């Protein structure tokens, strides 16, 4: 099998003494004609009927769709519901994080208040108390 690319057969061109080529057919001297498409066929106008002005503004009945669109509506609704679910999930997650943060802040503030007012960790109001008791019995 020959693997060389196709090359058209070489044609012998004869040249005159001054270098002008001699062709088997005379060269085309006139320009190619411009393409002009055929004119559109003229249709004959049918009989003219008077138009009732009220019929122009009446709504035209909707054409039946070529195919049933309920699967597309279901898919679109499912995508919308899924997107709403994702958005609602993000919202609830942010709400839970905010509530957790507020709860932790309230717990820290309550602990600070308890420590400040001396009610925390079993301590009394004044801390260490010196007690001095002087007992004397006069009836002896």
What are the tens digits of pLDDT across the range 84-124?
A: 889 999 999 999 999 999 999 999 999 998 888 865 555 55
Q: Which residues of the chain have pLDDT under 70?
A: 1-12, 23-29, 52-68, 118-128, 140
Backbone angles phi, psi at 63, to 5 degrees: -75, 145
Contact criterion met (CB below 8 Å) for 112 and 106: no
The CA distance from 75 to 67, in Å, is 15
């Amino acid at each position: 099998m020959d693997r060389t690319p196709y090359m058209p057969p070489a044609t012998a061109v004869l040249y005159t003494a001054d270098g002008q080529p001699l062709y088997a057919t005379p060269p085309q001297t006139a320009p190619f004609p411009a393409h002009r498409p055929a004119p559109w066929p003229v249709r004959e106008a049918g009989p003219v009927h008077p138009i009732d002005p009220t019929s122009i503004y009446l709504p035209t009945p909707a054409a039946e769709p070529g195919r049933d669109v309920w699967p597309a509506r279901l898919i679109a609704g499912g995508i919308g519901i899924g997107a709403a679910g994702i958005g609602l999930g993000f919202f609830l997650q942010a709400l839970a994080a905010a509530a957790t943060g507020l709860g932790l802040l309230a717990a820290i503030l309550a602990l600070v208040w308890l420590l400040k007012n001396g009610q925390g960790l079993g301590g009394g109001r004044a801390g260490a108390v010196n007690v001095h008791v002087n007992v004397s019995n006069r009836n002896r």
